Amino acid sequence: MTQPLAKEKSSARPFHHSVDGSLHCGEVALEQLAARFGTPLYVYSGDQILERFQLFQSALSGRDHLICYAVKANSTLGIIKLLAKAGAGFDIVSGGELQRILAAAPDAANRVVFSGVGKTAPEIDLALDANIHQFNVESEAELELLAARADRKKQRARFALRVNPDVFAETHPYISTGLREHKFGVDIRKARELYLRAAKKKWLEPYGISVHIGSQIRSASPFGDAVSRAVELVNQLKQNGITLRAIDAGGGLGIDYHAGNFNPAAKVREYASALKKSLANFDGKLIIEPGRFIVAQAGALLARVLYIKKNGKKTFIIADAAMNDLIRPALYQAHHEIIPVTPRKGRTMTVDIVGPVCETGDFFARDRKLPRVELGDLLAILDAGAYGMSQASNYNTRMKSAEVLVQGKSAKLIRRRETIEDLLQQEKF
């Protein structure tokens, strides 16, 4: 029998302390997974991933909708297959991500929307051949290229213009995308002209409009504001004889990375309510692209304590995981809760938790209060299911971690640990 982490709703994170104090994912002990698969190790709760997906399905019931999981958040094939079986669509930003869909869930290709500012001709051709749901076009030049490739193949290309609604969302500047000065999308004031021009192209089908204002946004109101501006443009185009049948509201709904209470179901209901209110005068399909919200809290990165080191007044916990495994703290100064998998009695320590990579920026936490740990102890870095493995690298010639998917009592290896042979076989000398 397990108990939820203190001060948290059980639905916020799938990691629980058992009666003996050890940390579990579902019904599986994390110490057992680390012993079996080694560390660093990513562990995901498949049960929670499906639960989060169903929250969106339930909140949007009653209207035509498609939930397209944002593959960039975590592109592991096992997670793609899990969500595809549940009926998810997919938001992709590269031809490589499309290849992942075709490998893990080929029947889901017609539920794919293709975003991204730098689509190449081969990527567009691949998507046309796969008969994806729609292209989210991000520039006038891309629209011309899409028209040329569709004409060459004599295939109809269904598209939505991604417009910048000029809505400010309070988030990290690196992941804000909805203003005119950002590289994404086209100025909403120019969109009408582009739709009118595209409507004259034989193999282009103006199908929808797309807005995406950023990531890790905690308030629902900016999403509603962005969709309201999209609806205004839809109504203007209708007067010009162009009927758009879908509005893609993008993704970006945020989570709570800290230790406080967080109610995912209430947050999704609030988000869905804001969208529905803005769509009151639009009866077409709603497309949304959640990524982080579905997978982030379902995942944890497990790491072993290698050394405990003091430099002056500083105490460093040196773990076997590093910034190449999880770069968010170094890149965004992002916060992740970190807890011992098997807590010890004793005084709390104030420490920096760092990795072995040769960079001062290789850290997971600074001046963090942590229960007492000793050499060989296992740490769980929480909320690491999104933008962890998908941003992992081989910096310092470190091998990428293994990944395990837990459902109920079962634990399945969905990515084996990378080996030095895997790396070297790609190179010639």
Active-site position among 6, 280, 358, 420: 358
- On whether the CB atoms of residues 41 and 34 are closer than 8 A, the answer is yes
Give the integer Cα–Cα distance in Å for 227 and 211: 7
Give the integer Cα–Cα distance in Å for 85 and 79: 10
| Dihedral angle computed from the Cα positions of residues 150, 180, 295 and 304, in that order, rounded to the nearest 10 degrees | 120
3-state helix, strand, coil in the chain (%, to 5): 35, 25, 40
Residue in the block written with tokens 């990290």: 172
Q: Which residues contact 347 (CB under 8 A, 6 or more apart)?
A: 372
Give the integer Cα–Cα distance in Å for 226 and 332: 25
Tell me the helices (H) and strands (E) count for the chain, helix number first.
Answer: 12, 22
- On whether the CB atoms of residues 33 and 302 are closer than 8 A, the answer is yes
Give the integer Cα–Cα distance in Å for 202 and 205: 8
Single-letter amino acid code for the residue at 29: A
Burial of 245: CB neighbours in 10 Å, binned 0-12, 13-18, 19+:
middle
Active site includes 358?
yes
Give the integer Cα–Cα distance in Å for 101 and 121: 19
Q: Which residues are catalytic?
A: 358
